[in-house]
Amino acid sequence: MWTLQDAKNRFSAVVDAALAGQPQEVSRRGKPAVVVLSADEYARMRAAAGEKRGSFITHLLSFPGDPDSPRPQITPRDVSF
């Protein structure tokens, strides 16, 4: 893992390692902050995530139940103030 300062100073080495297929982690203030990876790997990951995830509309439509069924009528309770 690179510190942010080291990654700045040796950015070419960070990029070269990422292009060689080794994602590079960079920390900030001692905590993991970012990962540098090649554009090809990023595109592959996005494509894989899109295939699994699907659209939001598909997700909503996959919920069980009939969307056209009437909602139950609930009478609210009396509250005194």
CATH number for the domain harbouring residue 31: 3.40.1620.10
Examine residue 8 and state whether it is found in any structural domain, yes or no: yes
Binned at pLDDT 50, 70 and 90, residue 66 comes out as: confident
SS (HEC) of 13-31: HHHHHHHCCCCEEEEECCE
Structurally, how many domains does the chain consist of? 1
pTM of the model: 0.61
Phi, psi of 16 (to 5 degrees): -60, -45
Q: Are 2 and 25 in contact (CB under 8 A)?
A: yes
Q: Where are the alpha helices (DSSP H) in 1-81?
A: 4-9, 11-19, 39-53, 56-61
- What's the domain range around 21? 1-37
Query: What is the C-alpha separation between 20 and 68, in angstroms, rounded?
Result: 54
Per-residue pLDDT of 5-47, as tens digits, reads 999 999 999 999 999 999 999 999 999 999 999 999 999 998 8
